[in-house]
Structure 1
């Protein structure tokens, strides 16, 4: 190229860069956000658009259905250095899942939020439940102490029931059964009216979840602590009673056919189709029903599992969806700002009202009136089973789950199940 031509080229290039550079600088930064919330897909995308307008930061929302699938995908992405800037995980206190989170942290995939989350911001949450997404000083995982996520919502587990089907069976929908005796009688009335009484995904963790409710209800805190923390295992005769609850329900014709091997979506589907009257599920089940049969939502009530013992009924619960920031992300500061915006009371209130999920923020719970079954779930947030027991171990919990299934299928008695659980517990203690 001749000297004159080269000069003209450089001038043209300078002009092109001068014109386009301001545009490039003005282009919004982009955060990548992975989540698994199929029923909240549209709301998450709307939040992203609103945040871009408010802060000038674009959020690329990517959906990966299935909370377990996205957990595996996140682990692989963190190890490969390809994780998103911000993502959802679960707030489970399960030791296996806590150990997985420790691996993520060590690989640089979860940001310690202690220096970012102010006292006012942190005080919106129940301190004891933040423990599920925190690591304490001297933790056995060798992880730096701190808070590694913030909840987007909270959950608890109760019995959802169809008020219209209750009426058809001659039951008062405004006075659901409070005791096991009343519950069994109500289920017999439902069955007599040609209505399947009860469904639950007992092929999964739902079985041991409900069993633990009755273990606390029958044994009380003293009995639970004595059995699990002091090494007495299931030697107390009352432990047999905790499994007899499932025998009594079976013999009263409570269960839908097949529940012993069902996944949770199987049970939710039957309830959403109005083919059974009662469902054991979490507060998220209302959102599932809304997505498949919105007309049923106003007809749903929520009730505590009916008492079978002399102690207070406690329920399963905690934080559900948790937001975490990738510590290795060059955009982590912007990701934290988005996290703060998304968990602010205004967004939390809208999230609760539009998705039928319970807010994680105590400030929102006090300010926003939640209607219907959502409000009934929220009212019982103070009944969550306290996290004060040592882990029984996976082998023991698996044996309890299988035992409940075998009782439902009339394969074993409660006494036999307790004996097998004790053997698994003893074997686990010798490892």
Structure 2
């Protein structure tokens, strides 16, 4: 877990605000813009003068337009380096990226999720060690720790995300509602919305919903390192912290605070309910603020996190994640050119361009944010937030078992039985 006092001081000094996650398919390079000032030889890796093509693989298809412009600027500065970009939907990226990266033919520069995917790619030897690279100085050092393993900087988180649900400010004002400070208050808020014909929470139960909402639902129900203890065999998913969390998911569902057929609802459909102002809360995160605003310019959005305990027992106000880890493929034939591209992305003017065009907060120092959405999330730099609990689960099978237990409860299974089934999978992984 990041030490929040340290992170907060750096965030405030850098005027950092918010940010990541799901996407559609993307494209290739292009776009127009004036080139950024070239870096000095001391600040960037040395590359060949011969024309080369590098591949950039990631999951954020909605960022393609911004990256196209940035790539065009990069290619003007480095005319001998062509960048070809490929994107995949994030769920496919998590399941298939490793196979694509294995032989080095794709993803000279690629991205990784923290947690299970980072651990799997590290174990497979996919990452090139970036320890000691000059461009690391461009990043807020505490925010890139999740890209380290065994003291080596294997990847560099580019985005700072707040995995807290988004709420419609105008709807809250209309019904005289404010973000509650305890579980009873959250339930009362949902009931008020439901009684006025508004869906309290748009929940993508078929894909991202369980993995997103679980973070704020569990953050105060157990210790910060609880999933680390579970994977070490020192705690169990059948313990009170997870059974309680599943029970609270069941309560939200049973009381009709999710939309009908929440378990069958995918991300885009849940987002549409919020964008059309049929739902007051969207169970996703700050990464979706810009996308929502683009589709409904009249939206006024802020973030809230359900507090699942009494106010006096609440330790954390929300959840943050350093994600979209930039990396160089260890089997790349053009590693120095790949490093040059990451160095270019790490410049504060380029990082600022990316942030403001996409609505994604970044981990680069001294970036200036200009959009309402980024400013709306800026207040979270002053709150006590926990690193995303889901990404502290480093085994992919365990992570899947945890999110599947939420879906099981929504489908009618008791919290105790769902937790028992999930723990059985963890037990199997512990024996390996």
For the structure 1 residues 346 and 395, does the alpha-carbon distance in structure 2 shift closer, same or farther, using more than 3 Å as the test?
closer
For the structure 1 residues 235 and 387, does the alpha-carbon distance in structure 2 shift closer, same or farther, using more than 3 Å as the test?
closer
1:190-201 map, 5 Å: 190-201=193-204
- Bigger proportion of residues as helix: 1
Residue 422 of structure 1 and its aligned partner are, at CA, apart by: 4.3
Paired residues of 2:348 and 2:364 also in contact (CA < 8 A): yes
For the structure 1 residues 330 and 220, does the alpha-carbon distance in structure 2 shift closer, same or farther, using more than 3 Å as the test?
closer
Q: Greater shift after overlay, 147-156 or 205-214?
A: 205-214
3-state DSSP class of the match of 1:301? strand
Larger radius of gyration: 1
Residue 27 of structure 1 and its aligned partner are, at CA, apart by: 9.1
For 2:278 and 2:420, how far apart are their aligned partners in 1? Answer: 36
Ranked by relative contact order (alpha carbons within 8 Å, sequence separation 6 or more), the top structure is 2
Q: Deviations over 1:36-73 (max 9, x none)?
A: 32221111111122223334344333232313445666
Q: Deviations over 1:174-202 (max 9, x none)?
A: x3233222222222222222211111222
1:125 aligns with one of 121, 140, 144: 140
For 1:235 and 1:199, how far apart are their aligned partners in 2? Answer: 28
3-state DSSP class of the match of 1:281? coil
1:57-136 map, 5 Å: 57-70=80-93, 74-86=97-109, 88-94=110-116, 96-105=117-126, 110-117=127-134, 120-121=137-138, 124-127=139-142, 129-136=143-150
3-state DSSP class of the match of 1:363? coil
1:47 aligns with one of 67, 70, 76: 70
Partner of 2:166: 160
- The TM-score with structure 2 as length reference comes to 0.75
Paired residues of 2:162 and 2:320 also in contact (CA < 8 A): yes
For the structure 1 residues 81 and 246, does the alpha-carbon distance in structure 2 shift closer, same or farther, using more than 3 Å as the test?
closer
3-state DSSP class of the match of 1:83? coil
Q: Greater shift after overlay, 332-341 or 382-391?
A: 382-391
For 1:26 and 1:97, how far apart are their aligned partners in 2? Answer: 32
Residue 426 of structure 1 and its aligned partner are, at CA, apart by: 4.3
For 1:321 and 1:226, how far apart are their aligned partners in 2? Answer: 25
2:224 matches 1:207: no
2:248 matches 1:248: no
Q: Deviations over 1:376-427 (max 9, x none)?
A: 4344355133779984855554444333234334x23333334444444445
Residue 78 of structure 1 and its aligned partner are, at CA, apart by: 3.6
1:254-273 map, 5 Å: 254-273=257-276
- The TM-score with structure 1 as length reference comes to 0.75
2:297 matches 1:308: no
3-state DSSP class of the match of 1:380? helix
Paired residues of 1:187 and 1:252 also in contact (CA < 8 A): no
Paired residues of 2:216 and 2:305 also in contact (CA < 8 A): no
The number of aligned residues is: 381
Q: Deviations over 1:12-47 (max 9, x none)?
A: xxxxxxxxxxxxx99965444334322211111111
For 1:253 and 1:83, how far apart are their aligned partners in 2? Answer: 45
2:421 matches 1:415: no
- Gaps spanning 5+ residues in structure 2: where? 1-47
Q: Deviations over 1:239-295 (max 9, x none)?
A: 43322212332243211111123333332232223321111112211233245x141
Residue 305 of structure 1 and its aligned partner are, at CA, apart by: 2.6
3-state DSSP class of the match of 2:71? helix
3-state DSSP class of the match of 1:318? strand
3-state DSSP class of the match of 2:111? strand
Q: Deviations over 1:348-373 (max 9, x none)?
A: 12222221111122432xxx355544
3-state DSSP class of the match of 1:42? helix
For the structure 1 residues 421 and 344, does the alpha-carbon distance in structure 2 shift closer, same or farther, using more than 3 Å as the test?
same
3-state DSSP class of the match of 1:62? strand
For the structure 1 residues 160 and 216, does the alpha-carbon distance in structure 2 shift closer, same or farther, using more than 3 Å as the test?
closer
For 1:320 and 1:286, how far apart are their aligned partners in 2? Answer: 16
